[in-house]
């Protein structure tokens, strides 16, 4: 029996909400371009039903899943094996289900962000001065890889400063190893401007004002929103109005998906090609 007559391997993205996710289209295109036989679905999971949702998916023959809001912090507790990135972030966005019943957790968000900034946007992170806005799961998932990319200084700005301080504490050993400065501040205490500003909050999605002053920007700064599409528009408009280079998180989405695909299938898909296709496609 050849592989084309076997049922496709099953994968999904789990979240709440999840209807907006572009992950199924991205993974379908990756599979097409790499000759992989798989099916990738969206799964809307009840807010109190994540662990059951994972068990049900495994029972259906699921091979792996991406985890999105709000379940990234719950995912590591289900895993038999957590990557160093998961241990550092306390959050996972990729689960892999092995034949022996073990569950492996990884976090590809930061790898995807770094790849999009350095490869697709062509902006160097080595030696950069960076502002990370927010201290939730999105920020936790990317801080380690940003430090490992050689960023010289990272300020984490968050309304609840204690959350930012907790992120600084959990990453202080890595920062010391990388000889990077790591600082936690309230948004109103920010001084000076930055080479790169990353919005890891859902401020645009919630229709809120941008949570930091425009003084953090200078002409030519990269202002990056980890959201994409309409959810990022408020932040992008604000950045462009102050002379910064604005970029949404679609490239991060594609690159973190490519990392997950490589974990699951052992094949690296052509992520830059797929990102270009998505950028060109009508919304």
What's the CA angle centered on 118, arms 117 and 120, to 5 degrees? 70
The pTM (predicted TM-score) of the whole model is: 0.94
* Cα torsion 47, 255, 252, 106: sign: positive
109 labeled part of a ligand binding site: yes
Q: Is 4 annotated as a binding residue?
A: no
110-247: CATH architecture: 3-Layer(aba) Sandwich (3.40)
Kindly state the DSSP code that residue 116 receives in the 8-state scheme.
Answer: I
> What pLDDT score does 5 carry?
82
Whole-number Å distance between alpha carbons of 235 and 140: 20
The answer to whether 254 and 274 have CB atoms below 8 angstroms apart is yes
Q: What is the pLDDT of residues 217-230, one digit of tens each?
A: 999 999 999 998 88
pLDDT digits (tens, 9 = 90+) for 35-88: 999 999 999 999 999 999 999 999 999 999 999 989 999 999 999 999 999 999
Fold identical between 9-106+253-280 and 110-247? Answer: yes
Confirm whether residue 138 is marked as ligand binding: yes
pLDDT of res. 230: 87
Q: For residue 198, report the phi and psi dihedrals to the nearest 5 degrees.
A: -115, 120
CB 137 within 8 A of CB 73: yes
Angle between helices 137-148 and 161-170 in degrees, nearest 10: 40
All structural domains of the chain with their residue ranges: 9-106+253-280, 110-247
Q: Which are the catalytic amino acids? A: 72
The answer to the question of whether 93 is labelled as a binding residue is: yes
CATH number of 9-106+253-280: 3.40.50.10860
Is 184 labeled as ligand-binding?
no
Select from 68, 145, 72 the least CA-distant residue to 110. 145
């Amino acid at each position: 029996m050849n592989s084309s007559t076997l049922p496709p391997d099953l994968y999904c993205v789990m979240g709440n909400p999840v209807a907006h996710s572009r992950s199924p289209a991205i993974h379908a295109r990756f599979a097409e371009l790499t000759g992989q036989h798989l099916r990738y679905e969206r799964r809307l999971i009840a807010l109190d039903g994540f662990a059951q949702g994972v068990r049900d998916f495994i029972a259906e023959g699921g091979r792996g899943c991406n985890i999105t809001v709000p379940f990234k912090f719950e995912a590591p507790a289900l895993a038999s094996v957590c990557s160093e990135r998961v241990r550092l972030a306390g959050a996972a966005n990729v689960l892999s289900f092995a034949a022996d019943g073990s569950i492996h957790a990884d976090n590809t968000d930061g790898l995807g962000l770094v790849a999009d900034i350095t490869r697709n946007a062509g902006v160097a992170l080595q030696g950069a001065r960076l502002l990370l806005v927010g201290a939730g799961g999105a920020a936790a998932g990317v801080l380690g890889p940003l430090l490992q990319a050689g960023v010289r200084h990272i300020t984490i700005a968050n309304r609840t400063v204690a959350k930012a301080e907790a992120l600084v504490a959990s990453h202080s050993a890595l920062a010391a190893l990388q000889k990077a400065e790591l600082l936690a501040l309230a948004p109103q205490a920010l001084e000076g401007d930055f080479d790169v500003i990353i919005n890891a909050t859902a401020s645009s999605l919630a229709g809120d004002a941008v949570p930091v002053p425009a003084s953090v920007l200078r002409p030519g700064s990269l202002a990056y929103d980890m959201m994409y599409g309409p959810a990022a528009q408020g932040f992008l408009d604000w950045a462009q109005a102050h002379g910064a280079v604005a970029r949404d998180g679609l490239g991060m989405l594609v690159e973190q998906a490519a990392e997950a695909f490589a974990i699951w299938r052992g094949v690296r898909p052509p992520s830059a090609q797929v990102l270009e296709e998505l950028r060109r496609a009508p919304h």
